[in-house]
Amino acid sequence: MNSTAPPAALSLDLDNQWTYLRSHGRQAWKEYPSYLNLAVPRILEFFRARKMAITFFIVGRDADQDAHREVLAQIANDGHEAGNHTYGHEPDFNILGPGRIAEEIARAEIAIERATGQCPAGFRGPAYKLSQAALEILQKRGYRYDATTFPTYLTPLAGAYQRFTSSPAARDGARRGSLFDGLRDGARPLAPYRWELAEGSLLEVPVTTMPVLRLPIHLTYLNFLAGFSTRLARSYFLFALRLCRATGVGPSLLLHATDFLGCDDVSGLGFLPGMKRQSVEKIELLDKIIADYRRFFTVLPLGQFAAAVESAGGLPLVTPRFTPAGPRGGKP
């Protein structure tokens, strides 16, 4: 590692098999199928071999399952940071009422602390979903940072296309105006800043997207590109890192458990980008990408990156703007 290189963050959302089945409308999610006991040891081995620590955003419901206790405890034993990824990974998290949001955050905290021995200081909402109520609750509960925002235009456009081409029932169920909400989210700052809240402020560390172009650079997207050519995926990532260095953006790179899993490990997730590839190919790509990342930056868990960003100072204050502002009628 180049220790004089500027700091950057690395985190992994420990989204389980059931969260993907749920977001793609597969009824099998209700049985909560899990691949954590396969994925987590493999992920931990990868980082142990490279003497690296990162942040794992853990779903509280998974932390509450006895079957996961051993592997989740090992995350903390290996020196990684445990972050809060809500209790139920609710697809409508951003439009839940403040009481439900508080429950999603607090209940996850208890479960994650019991499983790992760490009380989370960082938060990431499910599927990049965030609201002002969530920020206020995180600030009051003493969180150091939120890491939910994902400033890209590609996801809302892809989502609108998916809804346009989906069944009439799914299309009718889609929230009107969500494309415009998504485009507004895409215009948020790329570099860390502080949310200005009623009773203080809270550090935001966005999931980094390509400076200027605002295209995703996380591993799911790189695996999608690697489906065409590994060289293309790597050149694209290196171009993004050079742009980050040139524009002074300390990046926060996002991984998922599925970046370590292939079609040889899990069936039924072929609808996800990169899940038709073999695990060995995906880990080879990860090996190269993480090595590239460490040549450009000093890679830290998000909590340590947040401390570095705060001590550098000069963070702009940003007023939260989210729509809808409150809970929607008829929703839990």
Specify the residue, 158 or 212, whose C-beta has the smaller distance to Zn ion. Answer: 158
CA distance 144 to 120: 9
Segment interacting with Zn ion, rule: CB under 5 A, options 13-21, 46-54, 132-140, 244-252? 13-21
Q: Which one among 15, 81, 136, 146 touches Zn ion, defined by CB under 5 A?
A: 15
**Does the bond joining 324 to the residue before it have cis omega, within 30 degrees of 0?**
yes
**Residues contacting Zn ion: total by CB under 5 A:** 3
**Helix H or strand E encompassing 280:** helix 279-296
Specify the residue, 56 or 193, whose C-beta has the smaller distance to Zn ion. Answer: 56
Identify the CA nearest to 13 among candidates 47, 51, 48, 43: 43
104 binds Zn ion (CB under 5 A): no
What does the block give as tokens for 293?
Answer: 């990342």
The least distance separating Zn ion from the CB of residue 63, rounded to whole angstroms, comes to: 14
CA distance 90 to 125: 9
The label of the residue with tokens 């996800």 reads 272
Q: Taking CB under 5 A as the criterion, which residues in 185-224 touch Zn ion? A: none
Segment interacting with Zn ion, rule: CB under 5 A, options 118-126, 166-174, 258-266, 298-306? 118-126
The least distance separating Zn ion from the CB of residue 126, rounded to whole angstroms, comes to: 5
DSSP string, 207-270: PPB-TTT--B-SHHHHHHHHTT-HHHHHHHHHHHHHHHHHHT---EEEEEGGGG--TTT-SS-T
Q: Which one among 8, 11, 13, 222 touches Zn ion, defined by CB under 5 A?
A: 13
Q: Taking CB under 5 A as the criterion, which residues in 120-139 touch Zn ion? A: 126
**Helix H or strand E encompassing 122:** strand 122-123
The least distance separating Zn ion from the CB of residue 199, rounded to whole angstroms, comes to: 28
The least distance separating Zn ion from the CB of residue 19, rounded to whole angstroms, comes to: 6
Specify the residue, 1 or 154, whose C-beta has the smaller distance to Zn ion. Answer: 154
Binding residues for Zn ion, rule: CB under 5 A, are 13, 15, 126
